[in-house]
Structure 1
């Protein structure tokens, strides 16, 4: 039985048979305040290339009331099963009418329903990627069956209703209801249709382009967040991106308007619905955040706007090219941030190197590693493939491709691609073909090496010098470490386009004095004659400017200089590359955790890039929690807590670094005096000049106090009373689950695993509080409970809810051989589905890596 799955072969067969023309969808949301179900009526017109053939349409609904195919009623009980409605005896031209009662969700999938505790009003939004439009209307749920969509929505009077087309003036319908009749969309895929409804508030503007182009812009949020909505800054970023993308793509924005809607309890960062982008409303900042948070938000805004062309206008044929959608949007968002006139973040490639690429490197060393162009056999495959390879490795490879073919030639190829395939579906070969035409490069070998193989290469410099310090030989050695056990395929050597940077100490700073760009062959050794005869510098940095995707190692002399002077690089990107190399060495057991800690504490004080500072803080915290020798861990944690407090007190008042160190200190404070300081900051008896202890920071302080037994239910309830919002409810749930008592852990576990009453974001908050690295003994009994429950959870919960639990509650803090043995026993006995196996195997790999790193730290 298919359940809610769909195989690629089924999709291919259906696409060969059908051509879908148009949907007319009527949704009655008049009783949304009560929840439960809503009436959905779908009329879809489509052709069949073979008269008399049979097919099916997708629908997930508690009840189907009516199915009429070409005027002939079909008995729902006979044709509806396993999320499919059977369609027998098709004609060349067909009309299907389906009336169903569909369910509101609290999982962030389909039509999500949320009640704001501030105003007790109901807010709705849809999230359809990958296969969840079928939770709202009957649909041929695959990306290559495009059609036009015309929505008619009945909603409570006074509600704002937003969809892919311009919002119409509502018609009175009596009984406190209004009808909103939207115009039909262009031909798009089901997964980028959208509906957002509720008493949202909006701010409006207009993008004015060349030739009189005018695009209406809207930004929306709930009224309870309106005072924090910095719409002007968001419009500024959006307009910069409109200018940049339209110039680079040479194709006008393809939709009638562009709305951005900050919605509650959103699972991802954002979603590229055509003309109606939904964004998690945590990006409406209620409290002070660092500039790094604004940079990440801006990248999200640019990413989704790029999708309007790459993904929405031109769409992948099947989900195996999902990587191209996401990698292209990621790459173009970063290059826009770094190049668009007026951008606040010209250093965006530093952030990319320090955050996105470390995510990719981590993912690419898991047993589940896969080629960028992954084999996607069914929907379950794609649902677990929104990973670091799909986004970050793919974007890294695109960056290298741009260096390989030339930036101008790359964008000329993209322009030709959009013009040739507008409103259609494509494969990777279509894009590569366009790039071959404009660049003159044969990309078949490049594609095979980079897109069809898994794993990561390591680049090391080999340097020989004479007695006078002049280089007599320089080569780049490339390694292809074996893929992790269980991974498919074999490790390969690849061609790389890299730069080699030579850095010298000048006026106390490490300045680049020479740069050589070259092609590294797909071989173990590539000689670099350009550097022969050059005086050996203080630091030699392979992959300078971060052109390629590879792990980089420093030679012994460079590493010694970097260890002492990493903060002295004049530019942020080489610092970030060296920080990333050190972190990767720590994860690989080539650098002891205690040495990584000292390296960070020695250099972080002179690190100006706040995003890098916060990455280092997260990485040190992870290293101490998982990679440190348990016998030394507490020593390291105390060393870090003392240093964090020192940095907090020394940081300029009111600045980003002060806030970052306040949060870092709050996460690791452990002595009585340190916890007393947290309590004093919370109740106002302690003050650090310039530090605003605002709403979000208060919760950070309280969570640590709760986790260490210094705060309990009365304090949590009092703080929730101060912040009686949805965010406050999430924070309170985290604090309650973090308390170091058996009763608190049992209550949290039951609420997530047994009771199934929590919304997606509250469940996530409880899991985040439950797993405390300082509470290993308290959490130890839950290893057995996890393996007793995990298969049932996968089978019974929706994908988003199940994945939160399966990954979040895996006993990752129990770093021991016993955890590995228990995991292996379960894998052998449970016969898990491939998607479930992948999630558990990935989690197991984290424990295995931590064991090796702990052994290295002991050494």
Structure 2
């Protein structure tokens, strides 16, 4: 990886020398299973006499022709860059090379479907991987048009950013697709998807009267599960919403959405050709939380067509703005244009919890991060970039007003269409529409790290009347910035047996103490929520009286967003070791059975499992796990038949089940000798049950192989890898370790599945033997594998389940002796922080 890096200084120097006009890229995909032929013609202007380089990660370069002059590939090419000297004012560069397919989800990924042996290709270029498919000036501010010509089997579907042309047969079952040039784009949002994909067509009418063709694509073996009507419906709703709110018509000719195998992320915003993970093609039952997440993801990528594709950041330090805007806009669209009207509750439960967790790591950074090179970009696809950024944008909307915000965004699109921008370009438009000076706001919110904590200060007289109400703001000593917050404070009181909002004020707070005289003179209510409606980005503590109410009566808080905020506050106090983990476990077991918001339920269940496995006193952990497992099984039995809650409780139960009785229940569910009314043991749930039995030592490798024979699919292979790695003996764990660390060639999805199983242990001490091998292999793995694979290994094979001082000491020793790889160090530091937090929580649990 180090040889493939690009620094910001290099990018700035190149952008000062070069302006790119167009690319013509010709690819021959009929050359075999390892490589493909890639020919690129680039037209660009330059400062006469200057020297620079073009990016091209290749197997071999056959020819380099610059302005009719043949250059020696052996001299100018190092496999990553091609040097270009003595440039003319106007240049034409032609490069012919062999490039490699990958199985890591980077560049042009090649997948063979185990069901039917068919080959499927797709590209994934963000951040720096279009150079794996064609020669390119790989940086977002060197935009150009792209014209792709593709030779492939004539039975394939071939999709790119421009509408797919009619293929021209060339004989021997091969055809050529000559695409029209794209609009001006950054290279990382160009795309190629090719293979015998199944296609479903539709269309819509844009606000400017154009007919926009719509396409959905997936592998043939998944076609029966593609719910195209639902996806098209969400897409149409998103188009109508964004075109109205942005006041700008969809900027491209067509919109295809393609579900592709072994995808590393949720989706990618290629202009007019969005790729999605296949997990969004639901072959088995999924939770309502996952169904809603698919809606948000579809709308997130659609929002990128304007913010990111039409107008693109100049350099990756504004990556956060791309992703945060899309996340904010997609949540707004989900709440206002779809059936998922409680999307902001989901945002509070899922995105905010991710942001708060990331922002309290030692690796936290300002939203506008310092991005010195491509490795910095890779590790900054994190909760700051996505979730904190989106949370702060929500706060910005509250600060300037939604109408003024959207008007400013419209003006930004009009002024900078098909260009590159920086943060100040957007802020200047928002200042113009709102009249607010955003300079100070930007410095405090975007250029400093850390999350503030807000606590209510409430004093009452003997009759319970409030005599003083204030909000106290604090910050971590390492990140001492106090920020302005636009927020609401609400009182919740009794009404018909429920706790409902009875009074609300909205105000600006700033500094360490903000007095709120509007609330003086009111009777103290049972529950006070600071940051009602979740406008602000801050950790919020409940006052002691409100916390007692929540612990006793959380089920009676009728508003799902208010309930999610209370859950979040109580969990944050647990994570920060202000309250005992065992108390949160009791709270969750008591109240989770009546939670109606699917994502809140999913989030709290994950928190419950984390508290059980990592945060409780190790001396009581097995007893606590048994109690939690029994409680989850009881909740599953009590839940409404066929409900989302029943499904989630069963899934959580499988993750914690470990006693003989619990494992026997899992086995009985799998063989259906226990019939839980309304629960269908479908393919994927069957795998989850089998994985639980594997971790408990109740099935063999042969039984896992037999299950794979029954589900010989890509998903089945991942589940089988997970199950094998979950087998409990030291020899099983060593086999899982060797299959990834010693061997190479596994796809990232298999590596990730194996890591999940490796870390799934009932007896954490089995991982003690891997502490030293883990640290011994880190540098070698980082230097020899792709970023996608190496980062997965660094995170997923770290034995954090041990949560021991020995693990802390070994991690610190490695950090002390390896100061020179910042991106790798960051991942290790984050691993360490999780262990240290667990140890602190365990100390609190003993009190």
What's the secondary structure of 1:774's corresponding residue? Answer: coil
| Correspondence 1:512 to 2:501 | yes
Contact 2:469 2:515 in 1 (8 A): yes
| Cα displacement (A) at 1:211 | 4.7
After superposition, give the CA deviation of every residue in 1:783-818 in whole Å (9 maximum; x if it has no partner): 100000001101111000000001111121121111
Alignment partners' CA distance in 2, 1:369 and 1:816: 23
2: CA distance between counterparts of 1:634 and 1:581? 27
Residue in 1 that maps onto 2:709: 721
Q: Pairwise mapping of residues 49-128 of structure 1 onto structure 2 (< 5 A)?
A: 50-81=47-78, 83-128=80-125
Cross-structure match for 1:683: 671
Residue 388 of structure 1 pairs with residue 377 of structure 2: no
1:100-499 correspondence to structure 2 within 5 Å: 100-340=97-337, 343-483=338-478, 490-499=479-488
Q: What does residue 572 of structure 1 align with?
A: 560
TM-score by length of 2: 0.99
Shift of 1:2: 6.5
2-structure distance, mates of 1:108, 1:663: 28
Give the 3-state SS of the residue equivalent to 1:652 in structure 2. coil
More displaced 10-residue stretch of structure 1: 668-677 or 281-290? 668-677
The answer as to whether partners of 2:359 and 2:450 remain within 8 angstroms in 1 is: yes
- On the 8 A contact 1:586/1:853 being kept in 2, the answer is yes
- Tell me the secondary structure at the aligned position of residue 293 of structure 1: helix
Give the RMSD, CA atoms, in angstroms.
1.0
Cα distance between partner residues in 1 of 2:674 and 2:591: 29
Does the 8 Å CA contact 2:148/2:179 hold for their aligned counterparts?
Answer: yes
The equivalences for 1:526-545 within 5 A come to 526-545=514-533
| 1:48-97 residue CA offsets vs partner (Å, 9 max, x unmatched) | 0x210101000101111110000000001100126110000000000000
Task: Output the CA distance in 1 between the equivalents of 2:504 and 2:188.
Answer: 46
Counting only pairs closer than 5 Å after superposition, residues 702-717 of structure 1 correspond to structure 2 as 702-717=690-705
Which 4+ stretches in 1 moved above 6 angstroms? none
**What is the count of residue pairs matched by the alignment?**
847
Secondary structure in structure 1 of the residue aligned to 2:642: coil
Q: What's the counterpart of residue 837 of structure 1? A: 825
**Aligned mates of 1:2, 1:751 — CA distance in 2:** 25
**Contact 1:163–1:196 (8 Å) recurs in 2:** yes
Extract unaligned runs of 5+ from structure 2. none
Matches within 5 A, 1:604-683: 604-683=592-671
* CA shift for structure 1 position 213: 2.7
Structure 1 residue 581: deviation in Å? 0.8
Q: Residue 134 of structure 1: CA displacement?
A: 0.2
Deviation at 1:830, TM superposition (A): 2.5
SS of structure 2 residue aligned to 1:274: coil
Deviation for aligned residue 1:779: 1.1
- Report the TM-score, using the length of structure 1 for normalisation: 0.98
- Give how far 1:831 is off: 2.9
- How many angstroms apart in 2 are the aligned matches of 1:470 and 1:478? 23
Write the distance in 1 (CA, Å) between the matches of 2:273 and 2:209.
23
Instruction: Give the match for residue 47 of structure 1.
Output: 45
Partners of 1:422 and 1:704 in 2: how far apart?
52
Q: Is the 8 A contact 1:22 1:148 kept in 2?
A: yes
Partner of 1:487: none
Which of 806, 824, 831 does residue 818 from structure 1 map onto?
806
C-alpha contact 1:625 1:773 (8 A) present in aligned 2: no
Cα pair 1:453 1:491 within 8 Å, conserved: no
Does the residue aligned with 1:781 lie in a helix, a strand or coil? helix
2:835 maps to 847
Q: Supply the distance in 1 between the matched residues of 2:475 and 2:819 (Cα, whole angstroms).
A: 32
Deviation track 1:124-183 (CA, whole Å, cap 9, x = no partner) reads 000000000000000000000000000000001110000001000000011210000000
Q: Helix, strand or coil: the match of 1:497? A: strand
Instruction: Measure, in 2, the Cα distance between the counterparts of 1:775 and 1:129.
Output: 39
The question of whether the paired residues in 2 share the 8 Å contact of 1:751 and 1:757 is answered with no
Q: Distance in 2 between matches of 1:644 and 1:382?
A: 40
CA distance, structure 2, for counterparts of residue 217 and residue 822 of structure 1: 53
Kindly indicate whether the alpha-carbon contact (under 8 Å) linking 1:460 and 1:553 is maintained by their aligned counterparts in 2. yes
Contact 1:545 1:574 in 2 (8 A): yes
Contact 2:39/2:95 (<8 A) preserved:
yes
Contact 1:470–1:536, Cα closer than 8 Å, also in 2: yes
Any unmatched runs of 5+ in structure 1?
484-489
CA distance in 1, matches of 2:541, 2:87: 62
Q: Distance in 2 between matches of 1:82 and 1:229?
A: 40
Contact 2:60 2:79 in 1 (8 A): no
Cα distance in 2 for partners of 1:685, 1:388 equals 43
Helix, strand or coil: the match of 1:202?
Answer: strand
Distance in 2 (CA, whole Å) between partners of 1:461 and 1:672 is 47
- The answer for the alignment partner of 1:29 in structure 2 is 29
